[in-house]
Chain A
């Protein structure tokens, strides 16, 4: 794609973002409002108190997952890396299951994001400690993430098996990721953290570019590889953990969006990182609208839709790709 076409795509994406954002405000299980006619107090309340927070939540979750997916794929030099490769999702899931099974969640719903965040941070910490010993070798990092995921998943299964609690159903709904039950008290915190994180990661585009060449080459070009990997790893993990804690585990966005963007815009992370964020927000908003309007009056967890749409789309991409690699 030539440069002017890339620019056109960027402009179109920005317009598309605003269109989808607006749609997200006016579409819902209670029908589509015509905002240019009969505005009543009830509608204003629904839009401002229910749909706006939900829409903002979908935006920052999509953007955070896509941006961290993009960063992880480049610094781990693995096209299959995503925000959850390093065990963040299973850590958060374990935290939430503990909160539900041991009854913390029933005390106050505020404990759900707190436990999810603690779980995610514990898994990040374990992977980080192993990575320090392995000098941030990308294969060791991925393997340690996989190992942590397996152990945490087994612990979740163990808890499900031992617990007769009815809360298992509630934690299950959380695990697939949905925006029906997020805690609005933590929303403003999540928005600030994610936006600051995305700005920093976007400004690190060229460092990410150089690090994707491999440790040796990056060092000889003048990059302090270890320091930068640490910084990018912690920042990307942190914004993922925050969004997972608030919105649940939403798959495929972090894997798929950077791939699609790379096909359209090329590999330059200076453009790719912020554009992945924008497109991640558009994609998740779109899925969230679908989840609300697809089956009248039944809200489907958005994580289910992202997995289905993402999976089908990704398979088509794989079939159409001329090269063996994606």
Chain B
């Protein structure tokens, strides 16, 4: 479905944050992109959404190169939630979610009846109808994240991309948000791509992982394959043990302190 071929990219001329990346993402994948800070995870997502043009190589979706897509066309294929979304103005949740319908609106950009139906459906799905009229800045971190997801869902795209969606969330809210994404992936056949710092959450929820290092894909595959103590130890420059979660049978990672190593 998504075919990234030999892509190099950066924010400035002659800058290479991504270095010759090859990656194939299948339909209905739940792909977690992991790696250290500055490894190029967010840059990869931006190239995918055509926010940054690659200096070489191609990104194709269904065999069409994304650089030839108009901004509007790409907004109907991929919805993207960046790390920081400015909500400077005091919009309420409903108004904010309605922005997701923008690519479908007429020339005056007024929401139609159908737009309201889609937004209502999305809000019911995420169980956020009760705070439709609440101002975004009065919501808790978890609630706000749900509203942001709702906006992305209102775009009705096949692929949804999240950058550090679960950052700043407590473990309960994080699990909640990831469960929603899993449901979208399994029940509504959405292709989900997200960057994550919590390796254990990545292991539990993603069916594919891409471990990035210094602008390259270091390893790619199922969590069992990618999350091994050698690779994780080397990339994150630390010592870890990898065990199997007795309930889900997925790998989980335990950091090991220096004292344990001495013993």
B108: A residues at CB distance < 8 A:
203, 206
Q: Is the CB of B91 within 8 A of A219?
A: no
Across the interface, A209 reaches (CB within 8 A) one of B71, B81, B99, namely: B99
Does A262 have its Cβ within 8 Å of any Cβ on chain B? yes
Count class of interface residues, chain B:
20 to 34
Q: Is the CB of A214 within 8 A of B84?
A: yes
Contact A216/B82 with A262-B90, A267-B91, A267-B95 known, Cβ cut-off 8 Å: yes
Binds A, one of B55-63, B72-80, B181-189: B72-80
Q: Is the CB of A74 within 8 A of B49?
A: no
Across the interface, A223 reaches (CB within 8 A) one of B49, B89, B102, namely: B102
Does B92 have its Cβ within 8 Å of any Cβ on chain A? yes
Does B15 have its Cβ within 8 Å of any Cβ on chain A? no
Does B88 have its Cβ within 8 Å of any Cβ on chain A? yes
Q: Is the CB of B95 within 8 A of A266?
A: yes
Across the interface, A222 reaches (CB within 8 A) one of B71, B82, B89, B92, namely: B71
Q: Smallest CB-CB separation from A77: which chain B residue?
A: B88
B90: A residues at CB distance < 8 A:
262, 266-267
Q: Is the CB of B86 within 8 A of A223?
A: no
Does B247 have its Cβ within 8 Å of any Cβ on chain A? no
Q: Size of chain A's interface in residues, with CB distance under 8 A?
A: 27
Q: Smallest CB-CB separation from B75: which chain A residue?
A: A222
Q: How far is the CB of A129 from chain B (nearest CB, A)?
A: 20
Q: Smallest CB-CB separation from B96: which chain A residue?
A: A213
Q: How far is the CB of A180 from chain B (nearest CB, A)?
A: 37
Q: Is the CB of A268 within 8 A of B95?
A: yes
Q: Which of A230-283 contact B (CB under 8 A)?
A: 262, 266-268, 270
Inter-chain contact count A-B, CB under 8 Å?
Answer: 79
Q: Is the CB of B102 within 8 A of A216?
A: no
Contact A222/B80 with A77-B86, A216-B51, A262-B89 known, Cβ cut-off 8 Å: no
Q: How far is the CA of A214 from the CA of B89 in the complex (A)?
A: 11
Q: Is the CB of A220 within 8 A of B89?
A: no
Does B155 have its Cβ within 8 Å of any Cβ on chain A? yes
Does A212 have its Cβ within 8 Å of any Cβ on chain B? yes
Q: How far is the CA of A24 from the CA of B55 in the complex (A)?
A: 62
Q: Is the CB of A268 within 8 A of B72?
A: no
Q: Smallest CB-CB separation from A209: which chain B residue?
A: B99
Q: Is the CB of A219 within 8 A of B76?
A: no
Q: Is the CB of A220 within 8 A of B80?
A: yes
Q: Smallest CB-CB separation from B88: which chain A residue?
A: A77
- Residues 65-78 of chain A, each 1 if its beta carbon lies under 8 Å from chain B, else 0: 00000000010010
Q: How far is the CA of A305 from the CA of B37 in the complex (A)?
A: 54
B46: A residues at CB distance < 8 A:
216
Q: How far is the CA of A205 from the CA of B105 in the complex (A)?
A: 13
Q: How far is the CB of B239 from chain A (nearest CB, A)?
A: 37
Q: How far is the CA of A221 from the CA of B105 in the complex (A)?
A: 11
A268: B residues at CB distance < 8 A:
91, 95
Q: Is the CB of B92 within 8 A of A266?
A: yes
Q: How far is the CA of A210 from the CA of B105 in the complex (A)?
A: 12
Does A187 have its Cβ within 8 Å of any Cβ on chain B? no
Q: How far is the CB of B90 from chain A (nearest CB, A)?
A: 5
Does B260 have its Cβ within 8 Å of any Cβ on chain A? no
Does B225 have its Cβ within 8 Å of any Cβ on chain A? no
B84: A residues at CB distance < 8 A:
214
Does A5 have its Cβ within 8 Å of any Cβ on chain B? no
- Residues 149-162 of chain B, each 1 if its beta carbon lies under 8 Å from chain A, else 0: 00000010000000
Q: Is the CB of B72 within 8 A of A266?
A: no
Q: How far is the CA of A216 from the CA of B74 in the complex (A)?
A: 13
Apart from A217-B86, A219-B71: 19 A-B pairs, beta carbons within 8 A: A206-B105, A206-B109, A209-B89, A210-B102, A213-B85, A216-B46, A216-B51, A216-B82, A217-B82, A220-B75, A220-B79, A221-B75, A222-B71, A222-B76, A266-B90, A266-B91, A267-B89, A267-B91, A323-B137
Q: Can you give 17 A-B contacts (C-beta < 8 A)?
A: A205-B109, A206-B108, A213-B85, A213-B87, A214-B85, A216-B51, A220-B74, A221-B75, A221-B100, A222-B74, A222-B75, A223-B102, A224-B71, A266-B92, A267-B90, A267-B95, A268-B91
